[in-house]
Amino acid sequence: MQFARIVKLQDPEVDVRICPGYGTSLGTSHYSLIDRHTSVQDPQTVDPYLRTWMEAEMNWEFINPPYDVSVKVHTGDPRIPLVKRAPNTGVVLEPRKILVPTGNPKATKWFESIGVEVVEVDVPTLVRPRNSGSIKCTCGGILRDPEPKSY
């Protein structure tokens, strides 16, 4: 609902539908929405009824990442044991422009081949193997703990 309120503030006409998906983050990909009606994700990670509606009503395009640049995730659904997601190491800055850490040239080349501008930054202290996350992890949550009153 928090996400829906934020979207509605930007565009009251948007029909935000909160529903369960398959995989982590309620069926999302770290690069889900790369422009208004396009997401980089395996369509299997989206609830089939929602996927059908998105394709029919919104002319949605799912760009399914190739296996060799994808992260494989367990869905928790025995019917769909493993799905692939786009490389989950970055953040969308604007339509078809992403920020990623250096070190994954194969994924960078693939993103560029589908028309996504890739901005690479050297942030070894934020990402694996030094840290257990990615650039996305540093800005993933919308709700934050309150700032401490003193340090």
Taking only the tens place, the pLDDT of each residue in 95-132 is 898 888 888 888 899 999 999 999 998 877 766 666 65
Least Cα distance to 65 among 94, 43, 35 occurs for 43
Assessment of whether the complete model's pTM goes beyond 0.75: no
Tally of CA atoms within 13 A in the half-sphere of 50 that contains its CB: 17
> Domain locations in the chain?
2-139
pLDDT at 117: 94
Are the C-beta atoms of residues 83 and 75 closer than 8 Å to each other? yes
Which phi-psi region, left, alpha or beta, contains residue 137 (left: φ > 0; alpha: ψ -120 to 50)? alpha
